[in-house]
Chain A
Amino acid sequence: MKLFKKASELSLEELDKRTRFQSSLGDIIIPLVLAFSVGSIFSLICSCNPFTLYSFIIKKAFLSTGGLLNTLGYATPIIMTGIATAFSIKAGIWNMGIEGQVFFGAFTSALAGYMIKGLPSFIHIPLCLLIGALFGALYALIPGVLKARYQINEVVTTVMLNSIATTVTGFLTQSYLGTGDAYAHTEYILQTARLAKLSSRYRCTTAFFIALVIWAVLFFVLKRTKFGYQVGCIGKQLEFSDAVGMHVRHKVVIIFVIGGAIAGIAGATEIMGVNYNFVNTFSANPGIGWDGFFACILAGGNPIGIMIYAIVFGALRYGALAAQTGLGVPLDLINVIKSALILFMAIKLVSSQGKTIKEFFIRLFARRKEAN
């Protein structure tokens, strides 16, 4: 049996499949190359050889057990926030408020972590996660209801609510819940509320398995259930889905609430596994909610893509921290690559413009031959 057939041996259907596969592969590889070349320019401005930088990041993030554990640790919340965004992106809703919901989830679970005393660990941990999820969902209810009931554009409201979330949690930490230290933070959570680390020196905790479970469940819901199908329909044809009786208003609210709950859990695990107390800067550069959002729009809402991008982003996050201390490269350089990647991914160069580019090159070569 031959693995690779020649193009002439293929049937028309297979040929179509192959070109589609090639163009979709090209849509991923060409943006990657372009984005990393933009990153290289900025890396040169920062007086660092780009190849040294990239090989350093890959070596640090993937080529050792510790590095891999750190990468997974950084990827854990991004997997959750990414899959949380996937529902709204699939439904054509631009829910940019994941970051705010992460903040509320993290804040409330940090409070529950030290205020509720005397519980055994196996009750305390789920309770904290549940409280985080509940408050994340409640916070997501605001833009959800505004969108579903009053048709207010969700981009504006969610961005505003993000600012409100960071301000309010920061204010409460500083004014009422602070411990009197130089920087504002809440008290450390109790031992019973802490998630176990896989290895004491590295960042990865049991939260990674929680993330995997959530990812798998939501993957199933998106691909194999009626609700997931309806979400996709709403994204493609909103008026039509409403006309055939899909109760779009309810679905919109449910989509927001699911996203908020998962974002809340992501924030909670970050506190319970890594930080152990709430600091207003626990999610920065550009924030785990934003990273999940970017991973989701890069993957186009595809769960497997989200998983891959989340791990890549985790690696970039850890690699950037390592590169800052190791090579003296600014932390934000990695975000430049990310933003360039988003820009180039958006246009799907090969599948939309592939034909014109191909024709251009064919014409160019033809002209050269004529000249010769």
Chain B
Amino acid sequence: MGVILNLLSMTIEASVPYLLITVGGVFVARAGVFNISMEGCTEFSAFAGILFAYMTGKVWIGVAAAILLALLINCVFYLFTVKLNGNLSVVGTGINLMAACIPASLLQAMYGTRSNLIATKIIDPAKMMLDIPLLNRIPFLKDVVNNQTFTTYLTVFVAWALIVIMYKTRFGIFVRVTGENPSAAKAVGIKTDRIKFLCLVISALTCALAGLNLSVEQLGMYTIGMSANRGFICLSAINCGRKEPGKACIYALIFGFVRALQTVVNNYVPAAISSLLGILPYATIIIVLLIVEAPVAKRNHLRFFKGAY
């Protein structure tokens, strides 16, 4: 029983970044922009959060810096792809490479190590866990839902709010039209570029939150390659969920569960095999993609159709 409760609690902890990146990325995908730079955006904000908190000694400056940097990166992405007509995948690859090397070079230049920056002096990850007064008395929920980070509770709100925005507001309709038929949207008078920009801003904010959750809240330190392909995993979650925020969130939860399963099972197997468990999340994604896409491919009467994107 204890194991299951632990697993559920870990699932919630692990799903938070997935959920955030997914629910923001859905907007970008719906607006017809294939954005693979979410990975880099998350990495950059995780780095900026820790770096600025470490340099100034104040956590809120780190948080602000992370959000600003994420916005800056998505502005660059917007400028290069939508405004200057660069290839989406090329620009995304460039940003991802940048996210892999700029933190490393800055860390080596400033602190002499290229692998990590530990800021546990300023940020105590144990204090980041919130103890909610009413929730900590309910028998089942107190083990699972209580003692999570602030972002966890925020995520529920953000996901709900963004789903509502997508389906119940004018802006949501504009986003969907922009993605489905750009020329029609332009003809009706929707400023498609502006819609795409706003979607990228939403994605930047959620990516920044995800990065902050990874580095500042969960560990209090930054290590190179911290986002660990989360951007791509969320891309596949969006893909599986057919770009609908609700469904995509469910897939994000599944991937979060698998990641939690890997961490929990790790404690019960010999050390030699535990490194092999690292493939579990990645293998799951490929299998899930296969299960989701195979029936659709069969129904498709065209001999070859360009796929989801």
Contact = CB atoms under 8 A, between A and B. Distances in A.
Interface residues of B, number: 55
Contacts of A330: 104-105, 108-109, 114
Given A152-B289, A336-B105, A347 B86 contact: yes
B304 A242 contact: yes
Contacts of A151: 293, 296-297, 300, 304-308
B55 interface: no
B239 A153 contact: yes
Q: Per DSSP, are chain A's interface residues mostly helix, strand or loop, or mixed? A: helix
Interface residues of A, number: 56
Nearest to A147: B307
B82 to A, nearest CB: 11
Given A294-B97, A332-B101, A343-B94, A171 B275 contact: yes
Greatest chain A CB density within 10 A among B90, B100, B114 is at B90
A242 B302 CA distance: 10
Contacts of B232: 155-156, 159-160
B109 A46 contact: yes
A340 B98 CA distance: 8
Given A151-B293, A167-B275, A170-B275, A248 B282 contact: no
B289 A157 contact: yes
B90 A286 contact: no
Interface in B21-70: 36
B210 to A, nearest CB: 18
Interface string B278-309: 11001101100110011011001011111111
B304 A335 contact: no
Interface string A39-82: 00010011100000000000000000000000000000000000
A23 interface: no
Nearest to A349: B84
B93 interface: yes
A332 B84 CA distance: 28
Contacts of B296: 151
Nearest to B275: A171
Interface in A310-346: 330-333, 335-336, 338-340, 342-343, 345-346
Contact of A242 (B87, B102, B293, B303): B303
Contact of A149 (B91, B94, B297, B305): B297
A307 to B, nearest CB: 20
Contacts of A142: 286
B104 A332 contact: yes
B80 interface: yes
A342 B101 CA distance: 14
B272 interface: yes
A115 interface: no
Contacts of A175: 272-273, 275-276
B270 to A, nearest CB: 9
B89 interface: yes
Contacts of A236: none
A45 B109 contact: yes
A336 B229 contact: no
A239 interface: yes
Contacts of A170: 275
B85 interface: yes
B95 A343 contact: yes
Contacts of A161: 282, 286
Nearest to B40: A339
Closest 9 CB pairs of A and B: A335-B101, A346-B86, A342-B94, A330-B108, A339-B97, A332-B105, A343-B94, A46-B109, A339-B98
Given A175-B275, A339-B98, 10 more contacts: A151-B296, A159-B229, A164-B282, A171-B275, A238-B304, A249-B304, A339-B102, A343-B76, A346-B90, A347-B84
